[in-house]
Amino acid sequence: MSDTIEKIKCLIIGSGPAGYTAAIYAARADLKPVIYTGMEPGGQLTTTTEVDNYPGYPDGVDGTTMMEDFKKQAERFDTEVRFGLATKVEFDDTVGGTHKVTIDGNKTIEAETVIISTGATAKYLGLESEERLKGGGVSACATCDGFFYRGQDVIVVGAGDTAAEEATFLAKLCKKVTMLVRRDEMRASKAMQHRVNNTKNLEILFNTELDEVLGDTVVEGVRVINNQTQEKHDIAVTGVFIAIGHKPNTELFKGILDMDETGYLITQGKSTKTGKPGIFAAGDVQDKEYRQAVTAAGTGCMAALDAERYLAALES
């Protein structure tokens, strides 16, 4: 049950690069945005170590510091940043309608526009050793962390386009990349498979799964299992890249907003507009292809501009 109702112009759900960039632009357009951070303030970047590919940080920056910078910049223009989780949404179908979003089950926000930037979460296998060594050699982002494994041996788990892309990216930096593919064939597109097969320092182990990540505080190797013969063997590596897909954080919008077959929100053309007037989506929640901080920030900017134009059209 809601005990308080607050009326605002622009609500932003999610606090990764897309959410904070939307906030910066919305605030500067005088939309007085309120951003709810979700349970992981700062988003996925707070789980990586060094970010070396975000323009403007010539010496690199750690993900948490970078997201603090995003937050500070949003607050400088009077964005209200609040810790809290959207738990229910009731979106109006009419142009100019009011959208209701419940926060933490007990507070209702009535917003003229809503920008959804709830991101996506990398899937992991669920092994105890994998969880323990996250940040100590286990990663779900080769673009973010691959650089630290230059000249070393790594493994990539997965057989889709992401795994193929990460493996070929890593092969340029690393001495050797071993891909663990659980079936006897890859899911990746033929073009990506071709690229994988033509990479000299990349070996594919078919019918093979990750059984255990070895090492106490940093990765020292992996134990793999052939799922046909049940034979296990160890491989010495310093990096383990899990690339078995991402899950967009869209549970809340099921049956309400249009999604593709994997749950990513669908936006219209080159805009951030969803199928509902006044509801926009930015960042990884609507992008399964690029998934970079800088592209998420770019769509966050677009969402704020789309929201501003939507409100301006209502007034004219």
Specify the residue, 157 or 297, whose C-beta has the smaller distance to ligand NDP: 157
Q: Which of 30, 52, 93, 144 is the catalytic position?
A: 144
Name the residue whose CB lies closest to ligand NDP: 160
Contacts of residue 98, Cβ cutoff 8 Å, sequence gap at least 6: 7, 92, 110, 111, 112
Instruction: Considering the complex, state which of residue 81 and residue 163 has its C-beta at the smaller distance from ligand NDP.
Output: 163
Please state the closest distance from residue 288 (CB atom) to ligand NDP, in A. 4
Which member of 10, 69, 145, 258 is catalytic?
Answer: 145
Question: How crowded is the C-beta side of 158, counted as CA atoms within 13 Å?
Answer: 26
Q: DSSP label at 298?
A: H
Nearer to ligand NDP, 224 or 257 (CB): 224
The catalytically annotated residue of 69, 104, 141, 284 is 141
Q: How far is CA 160 from CA 164, 231, 239, 245, 263, in A?
A: 6, 24, 19, 8, 17
Q: Is 3 a catalytic residue?
A: no
Closer residue to ligand NDP (CB): 112 or 161: 161
* Site for ligand NDP, rule CB under 6 A: 125, 157-163, 165, 182-183, 187, 209, 244-246, 288-289
- What is the C-alpha separation between 34 and 11, in angstroms, rounded? 5
216 is annotated as an active-site residue:
no
Instruction: Work out how close the CB of 264 gets to ligand NDP at its nearest, in angstroms, rounded to a whole number.
Output: 9
**10 in catalytic set:** no
What's the chain's Rg over C-alpha atoms? Answer: 21
Q: Residue 144: is it exposed, middle or buried by C-beta count within 10 angstroms (0-12/13-18/19+)?
A: buried
- Catalytic site positions: 141, 144-145
